[in-house]
A and B are shown apart, each in its own frame.
Chain A
Amino acid sequence: MFSKTMWRAVIGAALVAPFALTAAQAQDTVKIGLIVPMTGGQASTGKQIDNAVKLYMQQHGDTVAGRKIEVILKDDATLPDNTKRLAQELIVNDKVKVIAGFGITPAALAAAPLATRAKVPEVVMAAGTSIITERSPYIVRTSFTLAQSSTIIGDWAAKNGIKKVATLTSDYAPGHDALRFFKEHFTAGGGRIVEEVKVPLANPDFAPFLQRMKDAKPDAIYVFVPAGQGGAFMKQYAERGLDKAGIRVIGPGDVMDDDLLNGMGDSAIGAVTAHIYSAAHPSQMNRDFVAAYKKAYNQRPGFMAVGGYDGIHLIYQALKKTGGKADGDSLVAAMKGMKWESPRGPISIDPDTRDIVQNVYIRKVEKKDGELYNVEFVTFKGVKDPGKTKK
């Protein structure tokens, strides 16, 4: 039992602690604010990014160009107003030099005006809508855009005997991008959309939509759901017997996220997706990355982990290039045009748009050594974001 005095002490401490914690900081540390969802529906995104950043720092040390790197992790629970407050507090109070993370598009957009105003680089490691990098000259992206993968799967489907497609996309900005770009390219190639369904983003129940899909008898369903929801979708896809009805799954690779793929069961075999990263990517660098990640966290890295890994790498390299100068303009200038080899393959930052340029692979789910993998079989090299070049 706690005594009364102890209770009083505990309560008193709890009330005073947050205000007392802002102690003076050493000058030569470079702080990075990592804002990701660690709780709620998108928690898997945040955990992957956090894991990857920690892994990178274990492998490469925490000092660059004579300056110590300190990452401050914050959970925004996917609420944009949280993201904005946390970003603002990190910039104003903790004096972070870079803000990074951003699990969903609204979160990345909410922080954009702060990045511009405070001249702090915003490294987007997850969110995938094309418009994001246009909202501030300080935004640099290391994840991907939906337009990159959606246009390519659209072309591929039209050329590979898929004529009728039903679409199922999440009802928010990336989902709209995924649908728009796929539709443009697929119908231009002679394909036809027979059914178009938008599902709510939060806690979706796919079952009623899947029944409609089944009745429309398409050759394939084009699916975009954010990372983390693919498992639920594939489960209901199998339950409704769409696999037995011969309806294939195609889409951008988010639905076949590597960290969930193994749990999806054999109904996922044969699904063809276009994406930027597969844990089965056949390069030495990727094999090492996957092995190290598995060893540290006992699970397979997904594309979110790679986005985080490359994001922190970009920050390290930019600091190296500026010789430790950490003001926003120098860092963004250093990041522009940077090229490197990532676990996903060769990537670079487009100097004009600050968006990522990377290979997009067409992959098919296959079973290797008793585990499911996205096996890449076609490569499209150096794909820029088509969402912007159009304008």
Chain B
Amino acid sequence: MNSDRIVGALALKRSRWGWGETAFWLVAAASILLFSDRYLILTEMAWLGLFALSLDLILGYAGIVSLGHAAFFGVGAYAAGLLAVHGIVREPALALVAAGLAAMALGFVTSFLVIRGAELSQLMVTLGIALLLRELANRFSDITGGFDGLQGIVIDPVLGLFAFDLYGRTGFIYCLVVLFVLFLVARMIVHSPFGLSLRAIRNNPLRAAAIGIPVNRRLVAIYAISAFYAGVAGALFTQTTALASLDVFSFERSADLLLVLVIGGAGYLYGGLVGAVIFRLLQDVFSSWTPQFWQFWIGLVLVLIVLVGRERMYRGILWLPRQLGARLGKAKPAPSPGGGGA
């Protein structure tokens, strides 16, 4: 009884907004004013962050691994593209929801295949589904435009008011707002009893089933939700770039996504967002520095990140704010250095 109350109190405490979270979103909002010449890369960070968040929902919270998350991204991207090209849903925000639902439908159907297996077979099944969709899109090139991509996508102003401009300002604000709204929803989901039951399943599916959690149904639900998120990310991609080509389904996209989550860390929602920011920054820095060999440096940094360990690096980054906090006598003393390192 007592331990129940402690667990409950802990869960409640975790679901409250901390200063760190508020600061994160304030910085994100401030970036609209601060980095007005880098809207395009910020936009990429925003949709990549949302995409990574969607993977985090299944990987970090439900323990489902995926090497084919680009399948949902691609469905969302093509759905948004086709809706715009054929003028079915002209308003971007509405098309966004429609694209998300299309991906969600696919997620629901394929979830039954995915949750059957353990990790390795999940990897194979998800990978296979993404490859399958890519080939389908290639095969039906009269609908999708094949390798050359969907031509003639024109995106109307958001809500009929805000047109997409050359500087990418509208696009970025639009992506950021969508990201924030969907993040709030995801936050509610993972802190709800439903979200807690997912964590129980991730830790031990057998025990979870034994205490009466309907394991399969919960997994199907979170997989479909995650697919919705990925679909929305794909739709944001298409709407901000007016492009949809076969590479939205590519294996590299799914693999990059895993890297993003590895960099940022899974299972606390912000991992995807932080990972997306760092990943895109690294790409941008290295590829303008050496357009020929940037992939080498990215690889090197990734290896270093894994070797050094995320924990130690974050401690490094947070060192200065903590010191400042300690000087001002407000913050708790910093954790003893070198204590928990692997």
Contacts and interface: CB of A to CB of B under 8 A. Distances in A.
B196 interface: no
Contact size range, B: 35 or more
B142 to A, nearest CB: 12
Interface in B20-52: 35, 37-38, 40-41, 44
B247 A79 contact: yes
B245 interface: yes
B68 interface: no
B147 A173 contact: yes
Contacts of B41: 18, 85, 89
Contacts of B40: 85, 88-89, 92
Interface in A289-327: none
B313 to A, nearest CB: 7
Interface string A1-40: 0001001100110110111011000000000000000110
B313 A109 contact: no
Given A8-B317, A19-B38, A118 B166 contact: yes
Interface string A189-214: 00000000000110000000000000
A184 interface: no
A84 B35 contact: no
B285 interface: yes
Given A11-B316, A39-B292, A106 B245 contact: yes
Interface size class of A (residues with CB under 8 A): 35 or more
A88 B147 contact: no
B161 to A, nearest CB: 20
Main secondary structure on chain A at its contact with chain B? helix
A284 B221 CA distance: 71
A15 B147 contact: no
A171 interface: yes
B306 to A, nearest CB: 15
Contacts of B291: 38, 73-75
B271 interface: no
A39 B294 CA distance: 9
Nearest to A201: B147
Q: Majority SS of interface residues in chain B?
A: helix
A81 B284 contact: no
Contact of B38 (A18, A47, A80): A18
Contacts, number: 100
A175 B71 CA distance: 27
A8 B337 CA distance: 14
Contacts of A38: 291-292
A75 B287 contact: yes
B295 A105 contact: no
A345 interface: no
Contact of A171 (B37, B38, B146, B151): B146
A14 B289 CA distance: 12
Interface string A143-168: 00000000000000000000000000
B313 A11 contact: yes
B319 A84 contact: no
B242 interface: yes
A201 B37 CA distance: 36
Contacts of B241: 81, 84-85, 110
Nearest to B319: A8
B35 A117 contact: no
A386 interface: no
A39 B166 contact: no
B88 to A, nearest CB: 22
Given A8-B316, A109-B148, A114 B295 contact: no
From A18, A74, A110, A171, residue with most partner B Cβ within 10 Å: A18
Interface of A: 4, 7-8, 11-12, 14-15, 17-19, 21-22, 38-39, 47, 73-75, 79-81, 84-85, 88-89, 91-93, 105-106, 109-110, 113-114, 117-118, 171-173, 200-201
Shortest beta-carbon contacts, A-B, top 9:
A172-B147, A75-B291, A38-B291, A173-B148, A8-B316, A38-B292, A93-B37, A85-B40, A106-B148
